[in-house]
Structure 1
Amino acid sequence: MSLSRGLRPAPRRAALAVVGVLSAALALSACGGDGNDTSGGNGANFVTSKGGISTVPKGERAGIEEIAGETLEGEKLDVADLKGKVVVLNVWGSWCGPCRAEAPHFAKVANDLKGEDVAFVGLNTRDANKQQALAFEADYKIPYPSLYDRDGKLILFGFPKGTLSPKGIPSTVVLDKEGKIAARALMAIDDTKLRSMIDPLLKEK
């Protein structure tokens, strides 16, 4: 057996290694993050408020990578199709205490802003089966869809390096009407803080 053949990982082993890395990264960040980042890295330029919400000036925002897949209800959803609206991306899991704490606030704001140019999309992660996540949505009367991201691939690869990407569970990232990353919170937030991320973007031309 040649040396090169011996060093080549089997496809199944490679796939398992990727899943392992994803799971480990999410495990380290689960229900973590205090939202107090003060440097963007990689040239990113953002400001973090005392409340832990980071924002990027309009002319300096970056776009996202592909964030698309199947919702918990089995429908296809591509965040790119929502361009023209302010998009709220909320990372959550039914097992996460802070996610349960903020869920009523997200449901309230989503209902309050019906008819406005705003779309809400959940990114459900680390729920072993969809039934747990669907029960969460029903309990908190969540009025918007969530992409099922069990292994966290959308979360880890959907945001360019050095941008305001989600780094904990829960995290919330808000895109402007051009589909660019405008604001982020790395903690559970209430309706007031959520509106402070959305309202300025609704007023942008």
Structure 2
Amino acid sequence: MPAAAGVVLAALALSACGSGSKSSSGGQTQFVQGTGGVSVVKDRSGRQDAPDLSGKTLDGKELDVAKDFKGKVVVLNVWGSWCSPCRAEASNLVKVANDFKDKGVQFVGLNTRDADTAPAKAFEKEFQVPYPSLFDSSGKLLLRFPKGSLNPQAIPSTIFIDRDGKIAARALKALTEDELRKTLDPLAAEK
């Protein structure tokens, strides 16, 4: 597994903090590239299960996304305190997280590639992030995403998980407030 972790982290390093990349919908995948770099699986039956996303938060508390937020839409944002595009989108994420908290939507951060929690905590304090972030300095949680799924492939990446725990959408770039809302509105409306 250490070799696989190195490959994933190297790939993330190459694409880290870029302006985002376009992914194709080739092969057997059932997702389509949307405008603005957001890929969406509109057919609920074609969505893949989200992996186990559990571990310690930046505050040292245990968090199990599937168990703790069962029945909610989860917006998982992969970020690093050192990442300029992550800083650019932080206020958008905070605004939309606050606006959607009463609509059955839970935001969760996935802090990666920060060697310790201090810079990440400072980032969250600076941007007044109201939601928890899992601490994944080694990238182990990133490796849990199924191959061929809408998995995070850049920093920042944002994964949208539907109420059934399935991966519904992914963005491989910093998101605007409008892009977040356009992706979340239909997911929040699903019953």
- Indicate the TM-score class for this superposition, using the shorter chain for normalisation: over 0.9
Partner of 1:143: 130
How does 1:188-199 map onto structure 2 within 5 Å?
188-199=174-185
By how many angstroms is 1:195 displaced?
A: 1.0
- The residue aligned with 1:132 is 119
Does residue 39 (structure 1) correspond to residue 19 (structure 2)? The answer is no
CA 40–69 in structure 1, closer or farther in 2 if over 3 Å, else same: farther
The correspondence for 1:200, drawn from 178, 183, 186, is 186
User: Does residue 180 of structure 1 match 2:166?
Assistant: yes
Q: Distance in 2 between matches of 1:166 and 1:22?
A: 10
Which structure: larger Rg? 1
Residues 22 and 153 in structure 1, CA contact (< 8 A), matched pair in contact too: no
Matching of residues 21-60 of structure 1 within 5 Å: 21-32=7-18, 34-41=20-27, 43-56=28-41, 57-60=43-46
Instruction: Summarize deviations over 1:101-135 as a string: whole Å, max 9, x none.
Output: 00000000111122220111100001111000000
Match of residue 117, structure 1, among 93, 104, 108: 104
Equivalent residue, structure 2, for 1:73: 59
Q: Percent identity?
A: 57
Deviates more, 1:147-156 or 1:97-106: 147-156
Distance in structure 2 (CA, Å) of the matches to 1:191 and 1:97: 17
* TM-score (normalised: structure 2): 0.93
List runs of 5+ in structure 2 lacking aligned partners.
none
The 8 Å contact of residues 174 and 182 in structure 1, kept in 2 or not, is answered as yes
What is the deviation of 1:19?
A: 5.3
RMSD: 1.6
User: Is 2:102 the partner of 1:94?
Assistant: no
**Secondary structure in 2 matching 1:200:** helix
What is the TM-score with the length of structure 1 in the denominator? Answer: 0.87
Give, in whole Å, the separation in 1 of the partners of 2:105 and 2:182.
Answer: 14
Letter in 1 for 2:15: S
